[in-house]
């Protein structure tokens, strides 16, 4: 069987360009159809498992407790965020009371520049 496949591809290699292109299109189309068919089968298996499952009696209580806790935490967070949003910032700018004149400095007399 392997020899037949090898001989088939060798014959295609030795044939003219139109035959090579024809087999290229045929084999590419066949491989695309095979990949799409495998993908469709895979989707059928995965989508069948995604259907709604009836919850068990124990899970209903746990889910309700989790939902209640989550709701209370979310409402606390919302109240905190609202209080942060209502706060205002205030900035007070005061002039500095720094005396920039230093004691015991020599006085510099102005000089005229040459023209």
The string of pLDDT tens digits covering residues 2-30 is: 899 999 999 999 999 999 999 999 999 99
Domain map (residue ranges) of the chain: 1-50, 53-81
Entry pTM: 0.40
Expressed in percent and rounded to 5, the helix, strand and coil fractions of the chain are 65, 0, 35
Sequence-distant (6+) residues with CB within 8 A of 19 are 12
39 vs 105, more confident? 39
């Amino acid at each position: 069987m392997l020899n037949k496949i090898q001989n088939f591809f060798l014959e295609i290699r030795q044939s003219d360009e139109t035959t090579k292109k024809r087999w290229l299109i045929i084999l590419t189309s066949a491989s695309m159809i095979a990949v799409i068919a495998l993908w469709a089968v895979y989707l059928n298996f995965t989508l069948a498992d995604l259907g709604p499952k009836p919850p068990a009696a124990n899970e209903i209580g746990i889910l309700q407790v989790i939902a209640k806790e989550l709701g209370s935490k979310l409402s606390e967070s919302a109240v905190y965020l609202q209080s942060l949003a209502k706060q205002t910032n205030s900035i007070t700018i005061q002039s500095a009371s720094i005396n920039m004149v230093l004691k015991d400095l020599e006085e510099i007399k102005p000089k005229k520049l040459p023209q």
